[in-house]
Chain A
Amino acid sequence: MNGRLFKIGVGIAAAIAVILVGAQLVSVNRMTPQASPSVDDDYFSGLPVAGMTIGRADAPVLVEEYMDFQCPACQAAADQVVKPLIREYVAQGKVRFAYRFFPFLGPESVAAAKAAYCAATQDAFWPYQQVLFAQKGTGNRGAYTEAKLVEYAEQVGLDIEQFKACYASEDAAVYAEGSYQRARQLGIPGTPTFFVNGRMVSVGGSYASLEREIEAALGQSGQ
C-alpha cells in the first residue's frame, strides 16, 4: 500500500508536470511569431523623431521604457506595447515616447546599446531598433556581435565607416555605461520598466495597464 500510493502520486505529478511544460512550450511558440516587430512595419514613419525619442516635443505625457535588447519581455513589449502606444497616443500628439537603455544582460546587451546609440547619431535609431528587436537574441549567443551589428547597420542603409568609428569610440562606451549606471541609480527592478511623466509605473508587459497610467496622466494634464 505504502509504495503503491507513493508511486501513484509520483506518476500523477509527473503527468501533470509534463502536460504543463508541454502546454507552455506550445504557448510560447505560438506567441513567438508576434513577439517582435516586422522590419517592414513603418509604424513610426512620419512622426517627429529625436534620437531615441519619438513624438511631438509639446506632448503632455512623456513615457520612457528602460529596456535591454536581449530581454525577451522587451522584445515582446516592442510589438505588444510600444507599437500600439505609438499608433494610439504618439501619433495623436498626446504622448512622447523614449527608449532608455539598461544593458544588464551581458556583453551583447552592451554591444547592442552602443550600436543603437551609433544609429541614433545618424538619425536612424528607429529603423535600427526594429532590426535589433527582430533578431530576438538572448543569452549572449551571437545575435548582437560587432560583425552582426554592422550587418544590421548595412541593412538600414547607415554610413558603415561612420558607424564603425562610432562603435569603437569612447562616446559609445560611455553612453552605454552611463545608461546602465543611471538605471541602477533609479532602482530599475528589471526590464521592461516604464516611467510616465517621470514616475515609475508597474505595468508588467501589459499595454492595458500602461494605457490606464497614460489616461490618468492625461487626465491630470487636463487633456
Chain B
Amino acid sequence: MSASFRSRQRWIPWALGLALAGLVVSLYLWMGKRGDAPLVCGVFGGCVSVNASPYSELFGIPVASLGSAMYLFLTVLAAAHAAGGGQRRSSPYLTLAGFAVALAGALFSLYLTAIEAFVLHAYCIWCLVSFAIISTLAVLWAKGLSERSREVEQG
C-alpha cells in the first residue's frame, strides 16, 4: 500500500468518529423528545422548544430518530471502509451511498436550521452541533467519492 494511498485514506477515521458523535447527539435528542432524558440547552436555551415543536416530527416519527438511523448507517459504512483496508477493495457505490446520505442529511439539517431561525425563533444547540457534524461528513464523503472515482478511472 503506497504512502499516497494511505494519505488518501485519512478521511475514513474522521468519518467514522464524526458519525459516532452524530449518533450520540441524535440519540440524546431522541431521548429528550421521549422524555427519557433532560435536555441541557446551554446559552441558546431553546432546545426544548425546538424538540417539542411540530417540526421535530415527520408523521409522528421523531426527526431525531431518523437522524439516529442516518448516523448509524454512516457509522456502519465508514466502519466497512475502514475494515476493508480502505476504499480500494470497496465498491465505489458504497462511497456513493455514504456521500448521498450525508449530503441529504446536511440539506435537511439546513432546512431545519432555517425553521429554527425564521419560524420558531429559537435555537437548539444540539441540532446546530448535528448540522455541523453532518455538513463536515458530507465534505468528507465527497472527498472519499472523488478519490474513489479517480482510482476507478486509473484502474
Chain A residues within CB distance 8 Å of chain B: 1-2, 5-6, 8-10, 12-14, 16-17, 20-21, 23-24, 27-28, 30-32, 35, 68, 70-74, 76-77, 104-106, 138-140, 188-193, 200-206, 208-210, 212
B107 at the A/B interface (Cβ < 8 Å)?
yes
In the complex, B33 has a CB within 8 A of chain A: yes
Considering the complex, give the chain B residue whose CB is closest to the CB of A21: B111
User: In the complex, are the beta carbons of B41 and A139 less than 8 A apart?
Assistant: no
Does A202 contact B32, Cβ atoms closer than 8 Å? yes
Interface residues of B in 90-144 (CB under 8 A from A): 92, 96, 99-104, 107-108, 111, 118-122, 142
Contact with A along B15-52 (1 / 0, CB 8 A): 00000000000000000111111111100011111111
The answer to whether B100 touches A190, judged by C-beta atoms less than 8 angstroms apart, is: no
Main SS at interface, chain B: helix
The complex places the Cα of A138 from the Cα of B53 at a distance, in Å, of: 12
A202 to B32 Cα, complex, angstroms: 7
Identify the closest chain B residue to A14 (Cβ).
Answer: B107
Q: Is the CB of B104 within 8 A of A105?
A: no
B148 neighbours in A (Cβ, 8 Å):
5
16 contacts between A and B (CB under 8 A): A2-B149, A5-B148, A6-B145, A13-B107, A17-B111, A20-B104, A20-B108, A71-B53, A73-B48, A73-B50, A139-B121, A189-B38, A189-B41, A189-B47, A202-B35, A210-B35
In the docked arrangement, what's the CA distance between A208 and B38, Å?
A: 16
Q: How far is the CA of A200 from the CA of B100 in the complex (A)?
A: 41
